[in-house]
């Protein structure tokens, strides 16, 4: 495997970052996870733009411009022969001991192109069982949820550990006001009377790129979509529920906290969106070359 580090491709056995890197010491950085389908990088421009927005908010200078980052992603995927896979882009503030970032320069940019399977294929056919976890998403006033930052994800990891302890496929996270926010690594949708409902960004969720894609596809299909505050009552009494994310794609959730959702099987709207999403990703994307 070839790893991109600050402009160079090196074998994974030689790929190293400093123990003084601010990403390691403080979670001081941002990242993106990107899918490759059939030799095409899905939503490349959107991922690049989001990383630049995250970096700008964190006041970290990306060491390449947008075109340079896009090319670095394509270059890394080519070097690893990725046809269907996953690209992880990590940006940190750079090297230096101590919390104060004023003297931290020379950001670290790492790109890994490999494989990632989040859920087994049968889960897309039978659906996930998920549980509500006690770990809450951070308040938007404390950590801006639109930044895909390294440090923020410790909460998601703790939430995933909660779900793992009870053998659940995923953990459903609430915000501090008790509203449904997101899963540990995915956005949440429910279907009610043929319409899609999903939590609004301001309650503390990441504006997922797959989430946005599903909203676009649903509207093209004539399926109404709205962003609404939701409680567990809304999820428990939904006709259908599904999760979206770069790694997860679109996956049904058929049971929440021991309660069957709708029929307890993947519903027709969910199945239609899964089919539309898969057809869309087969056509869309930037060729690796």
- What does the angle CA 286 – CA 43 – CA 185 come to, to the nearest 5 degrees? 140
Q: Which two tokens stand for residue 75?
A: 């270059």
CA distance 160 to 169: 9
Tokens standing for residue 214: 């599903």
Indicate the angle between helix axes 44-58 and 209-220, nearest 10 degrees: 130
The C-alpha atoms of residue 214 and residue 220 are separated, in whole angstroms, by 10
Round to whole Å and give the CA distance between 241 and 205: 17
| Catalytic residue status for 148 | yes
Contact, 270 vs 242, CB < 8 A?
yes
The burial class, CB within 10 Å (0-12 / 13-18 / 19+), for 120 is: exposed
Task: Tell me how crowded residue 227 is: count the other CB atoms within 10 A of its CB.
Answer: 15
In the numeric block, which tokens belong to residue 37?
A: 């389908």
Structure tokens at 14: 């030689």
Quote the CA–CA distance of 184 and 194 in Å, as a whole number: 26
The structure tokens 């926010």 sit at: 181
Q: How many helices (H) and strands (E) in the chain?
A: 8, 16
Q: List Cα–Cα distances, 129 to 171, 232, 235, in angstroms.
A: 9, 15, 13
Which of 16, 102, 148, 255 does the annotation list as catalytic? 148
Closest CA to 21 of 88, 104, 103: 104
Residues annotated as part of the active site? 148
């Amino acid at each position: 495997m070839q790893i991109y580090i600050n402009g160079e491709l090196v074998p994974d056995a030689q790929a190293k970052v400093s123990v003084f890197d601010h990403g390691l010491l403080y979670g001081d950085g941002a990242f993106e996870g990107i899918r490759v389908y059939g030799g095409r990088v899905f939503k490349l421009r959107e991922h690049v733009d989001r990383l630049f927005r995250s970096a700008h908010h964190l006041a970290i200078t990306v060491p390449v411009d947008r075109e340079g980052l896009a090319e670095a992603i394509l270059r890394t995927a080519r070097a690893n022969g990725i046809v269907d896979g996953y690209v992880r882009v990590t940006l940190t503030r750079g090297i230096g001991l101590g919390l104060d970032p004023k003297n931290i320069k020379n950001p670290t940019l790492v790109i890994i192109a490999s494989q990632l399977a989040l859920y087994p294929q049968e889960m897309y056919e039978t659906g996930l069982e998920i549980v509500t976890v006690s770990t809450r998403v951070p308040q938007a006033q404390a950590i801006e949820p639109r930044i895909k930052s390294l440090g923020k994800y410790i909460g998601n990891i703790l939430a995933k550990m909660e779900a793992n302890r009870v053998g659940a496929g995923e953990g459903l996270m609430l915000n501090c006001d008790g509203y449904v926010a997101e899963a540990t690594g995915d956005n949440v949708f429910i279907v009610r009377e043929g319409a899609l409902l999903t939590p609004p960004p301001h309650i503390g969720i990441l504006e997922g790129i797959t989430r946005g894609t599903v909203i676009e596809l649903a509207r093209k299909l004539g399926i109404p979509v709205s962003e609404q505050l939701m409680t567990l009552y809304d999820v428990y009494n939904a006709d259908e529920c599904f999760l979206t994310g770069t790694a997860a794609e679109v996956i049904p959730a058929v049971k929440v906290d021991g309660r069957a959702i709708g029929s307890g099987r993947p519903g027709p709207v969910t199945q239609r969106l899964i089919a539309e999403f898969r057809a869309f990703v087969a056509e869309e994307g930037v060729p690796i070359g």
